Amino acid sequence: MVATALTDLWHGFGVALQPSNLLWCFVGVLVGNLVGVLPGLGVMATISILLPLTFGMAPVPALLMLAGIYYGAQYGGAICSILLNLPCHPPHAVTCLDGFPLTQQGKGGTALGITMIAAIVGASFGIIEMIFFAPALVHVAQQFGPADICALMLLGLIAGATLAKGSALKGAAMTVLGLLLGLAGTDIETGSTRFTFGQIQLRDGIEIVALALGLFGIAEFIKSVNRIAPIDLSRAKVRLADMRPSKADLRRAAFPIIRGTLIGSLCALIPGTGPAIASFVSYATEKKISRTPERFGHGAIEGVACPEASTHSAVQGDFIPTMSLGIPGDAVMALLLGALVIQGITPGPRLINEHPDLFWGLIASFWIGNILLVILNVPLIGLWINLLRVPYRVLYPSALFFICIGVYSTNTSLFEVGETLVIGLVGYLLLRLGFHPAPILLGFVLGPRFEEYLRRALIISKGDFLVFVERPISLLFLTLCGLLIAAQIYMALRPRRSSIPSPTIS
Amino acid sequence: MSMVLKRRDLYAGLLMVFVGIGTVLQARVYEIGTLTHMGPGFLPQILGVILVLLGVCIGFAAPHEAVAETGLAIPGETTREAFDLRGGLAIASGVFAFIVLGAYAGLVPATFACVFIAALGDRSGTWKGALLLAAVVTVAGCVLFVYVFKIFFPLFRW
């Protein structure tokens, strides 16, 4: 098993090192690194703007590039948090707590150096986890029938809805809304159109690019305009020599890095808990087990090392359920799955065997991309910091144009630009009411497939719902669903303690 | 929990109830089918009912403090500031201008108007700055998308 994995990986390196694939991987991590630094332009918006441009590409380079944006942005996000105290990316928000005090003490360079080490350790572990775990998961998943897959999707949806940020009820409502949006358009099975309101353009359903750019582009811009303050760059000067951590720092960071990596890789396997949760959990854990918890928040190097390692390991591990089962863990993965579907690739347990180039090429590109990022980051930090001088008033109108033309180019249709505008305005309303839009995308991507498998399961069982509890695998997933919901209800009804480890940034 | 937040959750719940009812009403048009052969209306109706129930729960949970939060406060995620009318209006009108001008006047005027109008939404910007930005993005964007990416979009339509 190890031998086959290594041969496959060798094959993957052959794919990823092809000049064109390597080039697109490089473009992806570079763009990702850039948007990771820029506040106000998120990973979701960037991937969806670039998504239409990948339609003309082969599936492998397209996926390598889009994935590169995601993990590349994690490197940029850390720079922002440590040097500028700007939590531009949720997973790195917690890094601000100790990263910025270190910068104030003139040790920002050390913090960045430790971050790089934590990143490469975390990412490597996440990739190794994927190499061995994904094929094993596929092996198990091959025995799944439609009812089991249906129950698994339900588990993914409930986990995504309840474990993500904010209120679980609101998350669930957004998931249902996403499922409904996913059902709009022509029903494949019966051919009748649903929720099109007589619009011919809606017969093919809502365009995923329009949905993603409405929610994560236009709605975000409306929320952030006139709110992003000019950034004080006076402290953000780092020389290359400063980035070499001392032996004492390294010793202090070593175990937190390992603990963070393990927490991150665990979080990656639980659907719905992405890198953001992983980094918070690992920071809280590290603070709890530390012998000197009072140092945290005042520039403890462990407080940087642990969450960063867990973020990077969770980011790579995020791809495991997505690539092996076709169940995305969060909105970014949902978007990447959408990109695969557009490329004509059916996500699911058969993907690894049917498209070994894609899967193993992706894994190999993770190694290459992460190494590129570490090499790139060292000389480029100065450049990225200078890019922060680009004010938001220049950034958002330009990005708005890219959104318009990006959506238009998907199907050369201005109607879809209008769709994006409507979705953006509704998305802003939802944001105002305290809803998080990420579960919408999750539901949207899984909606049609959920209906398809539900239908199949019920045809096989001749309309008997008991099929879901009679099959052991599906029963297991449904039990987990029940436990998740019960845990949420318990948390809601329990008298609230004020000492919940919830790191907030003042 | 402050008064504002309570009311916010009440509105949030109400909105979900309305969307849910609307979904069920619309989905009644489609056939439900039987369990063995699910019709197109089957899942939407169920989801609509679930959405109504969730909306009721969100609304009822609002007066109590015990809304099930995961306890992970993520900075920069609060949405309690007042709505910035100028910014929001400019962004929405910018996209709207892109659609209208794109359909009747071509890519160049559409891009220029979109960027210019959107840039006016920023309170720290000036007319001249917005004009300059619009001009730069128009030239660069049109060259990039029409000549490099070869997207079908006439530069001018008469």
Cβ <8 Å between A424 and B39 = no
How crowded is residue A187: how many other Cβ atoms within 10 Å of its Cβ?
23
From B133's Cα to the closest Cα of chain A, the distance in A is 7
Share of chain A above pLDDT 90, in %: 26
Instruction: Give the nearest partner residue to B123 out of A170, A183, A226, using CB atoms.
Output: A226
Region A387-414 average pLDDT: 86
Tokens in use for B152? 């079908």
How far apart (Å, rounded) are the C-alpha atoms in residues A29 and B56?
44
- Whether chain B has a CB inside 8 Å of the CB on A90: the answer is yes
Q: What share of chain A is helix, strand, coil (3-state, %, to 5)?
A: 75, 0, 25
Kindly report, residue by residue over A306-342, the tens digit of the pLDDT.
999 999 999 998 898 888 888 887 888 999 998 998 8
How crowded is residue A271: how many other Cβ atoms within 10 Å of its Cβ?
26
Rg of chain B taking only CA atoms, in angstroms: 23
Binned at pLDDT 50, 70 and 90, residue A96 comes out as confident
Give chain A's mean pLDDT: 85
Number of cross-chain residue pairs from A and B with Cβ atoms under 8 Å apart: 242
CA distances from B67 to A173, A330, A341, A433 (A): 14, 22, 37, 14
**pLDDT for residue B81:** 60
Kindly report, residue by residue over A125-183, the tens digit of the pLDDT.
999 999 888 888 888 888 888 888 889 889 888 888 876 667 888 889 999 999 999 99
B/e letters for B54-89, b = 16+ CB within 10 Å, e = fewer, are bbbbbbebbeeeebbbbebbbbebeeeeeebeebbe
Asked if A164 contacts A329 with a C-beta cutoff of 8 angstroms, the reply is: no
How far apart (Å, rounded) are the C-alpha atoms in residues B32 and B44?
9
Range of weakest confidence among A159-168, A240-249, A453-462, B91-100: A159-168
Query: Is pLDDT at A496 greater than 60 in this prediction?
Result: no
Tokens in use for A465? 């719902």
How crowded is residue B140: how many other Cβ atoms within 10 Å of its Cβ?
13
Binned at pLDDT 50, 70 and 90, residue A42 comes out as confident
Nearest residue in A to B51, CA atom = A173
Query: Is pLDDT at B71 greater than 50 in this prediction?
Result: no
Alpha helices in A17-107 (DSSP H): 19-37, 43-50, 59-84, 95-104
How crowded is residue A52: how many other Cβ atoms within 10 Å of its Cβ?
21
How far apart (Å, rounded) are the C-alpha atoms in residues A26 and A11?
19
Share of chain A above pLDDT 70, in %: 94
Cβ <8 Å between B67 and A179 = no
Region A21-47 average pLDDT: 87
Q: What share of chain B is helix, strand, coil (3-state, %, to 5)?
A: 65, 0, 35
**Amino acid identity, position A462:** K
Cβ <8 Å between B65 and A424 = no
**pLDDT for residue B59:** 86
**Amino acid identity, position A75:** Y
H-helix or E-strand spanning residue A247: helix A247-269
**pLDDT for residue A178:** 94
Instruction: Give the residues across from A185 on adjacent strands.
Output: A194
Query: Is pLDDT at A72 greater than 60 in this prediction?
Result: yes
Cβ <8 Å between A464 and B35 = yes
Q: Which of residues 139-158 of B touch A (CB under 8 A)?
A: 141, 145, 149, 151-153
How far apart (Å, rounded) are the C-alpha atoms in residues B135 and B118?
13
**pLDDT for residue A119:** 93
**Amino acid identity, position A455:** R
Main-chain dihedrals φ then ψ at residue B29, nearest 5 degrees: -65, -35
- Whether chain B has a CB inside 8 Å of the CB on A172: the answer is yes
Nearest residue in B to A414, CA atom = B99
Asked if A114 contacts A79 with a C-beta cutoff of 8 angstroms, the reply is: no
**Which of A77, A51, A456, A450 has the alpha carbon at shortest distance from A213?**
A51
**pLDDT for residue A501:** 44
From A222's Cα to the closest Cα of chain B, the distance in A is 5
Query: Is pLDDT at A498 greater than 50 in this prediction?
Result: no
CA distances from B30 to A190, A447, B38 (A): 11, 17, 11
Give chain B's mean pLDDT: 82
Kindly report, residue by residue over A200-258, the tens digit of the pLDDT.
778 888 888 899 999 988 998 898 888 777 666 666 667 667 778 888 888 888 899 99
How far apart (Å, rounded) are the C-alpha atoms in residues A67 and B37?
39
Mutate one of A218, A282, A285, A394 to test the B interface: name it (highest B CB count within 10 A). A394
**pLDDT for residue A308:** 92
CA distances from A427 to A421, A430, A434, B95 (A): 10, 5, 11, 15
Kindly report, residue by residue over A429-441, the tens digit of the pLDDT.
998 888 888 889 8
Tokens in use for B32? 């439900």
Residue A198: which residues within 8 A CB-CB, separation 6 or more? Answer: none
How crowded is residue B38: how many other Cβ atoms within 10 Å of its Cβ?
22
Tokens in use for A201? 């353009």
What's the pTM value of the predicted model, to 2 decimals? 0.84
Asked if B75 contacts A87 with a C-beta cutoff of 8 angstroms, the reply is: yes
Kindly report, residue by residue over A346-367, the tens digit of the pLDDT.
888 888 889 989 999 999 999 9
H-helix or E-strand spanning residue A264: helix A247-269
Instruction: Give the nearest partner residue to B54 out of A172, A408, A431, using CB atoms.
Output: A172
Region B29-51 average pLDDT: 87
Query: Is pLDDT at B79 greater than 50 in this prediction?
Result: no
Cβ <8 Å between A454 and B114 = no
